[in-house]
Amino acid sequence: MKIFKTRDYYDMSRKAANIISAQIILKPDCVLGLATGSSPLGTYKQLVEWYKKEDLDFSKVSTVNLDEYRGLSPQNEQSYYYFMHKNLFSQVNIRENATFVPDGMNNDIEKACKDHEDIINRLGGIDLQLLGLGENGHIGFNEPADEFIKDTHCVQLSRSTIEANSRFFEDIKDVPTQAITMGIRTIMRADKILIIVNGSKKAKIVKEAFWGPVTPKVPASILQIHKDVTLVADEAALSQAPI
């Protein structure tokens, strides 16, 4: 695992954007696995800035998102489809038909999960997967469990995850309780993984995930055995790490 300690969120975002832009430059038709939430916002903003300066070209890039809430339409401002279009897709020259987010509105949830796996396979796999880290160690919406769930699946969100995401909703009762998420095996099949973490609230879980035992109780700990992982984290998030 490669570790980059950054000064703050801005520095973390810029470093992560550098890594993603290098992937695009080296392989213009790459497949990016993308994440949502507050952690990658600064990274996407930086990528958009470089695109507007004509330093980046997304015209051949394909993207596959990690997850989506179940029951939120693409037009809902809290859906991850909406998030991605607002913060990245609508601001760069990526092809609309080359961006894929799980279908949270499909009543046949098993088919929705299988379709997302099929899309990844059809694209030839993910070249670089971007991840954030939940305070309970989740990656995507893979919550602490007794075993690692392998493929894209529907998950019941933990109370801590619902509470963490409630800041994006008017009321915690509005937060969906289920989501579709790539499974651990799906994530681990990516050629490269980039995980970004910031803030002192994440310091304890960073230590557990990357310097503790590999266990499904801390889903992100599985990344310790991936062949090419880069952790970009600010000083606060790394404050308890033994480095």
Which residues are designated catalytic?
A: 67, 136, 138, 143
Give Cα 46 to chain centroid, integer Å. 16
Distance CA 21, CA 219 (A): 27
Q: Side-chain half-sphere of 111: how many Cα atoms within 13 Å?
A: 4
Sheet holding 153-156, edge to edge: 67-69, 178-181, 153-156
Give Cα 168 to chain centroid, integer Å. 17
Beta bridge partners of 192: 128
> What is the separation, in whole angstroms, between the first and last Cα of the chain?
13
Distance CA 64, CA 31 (A): 7
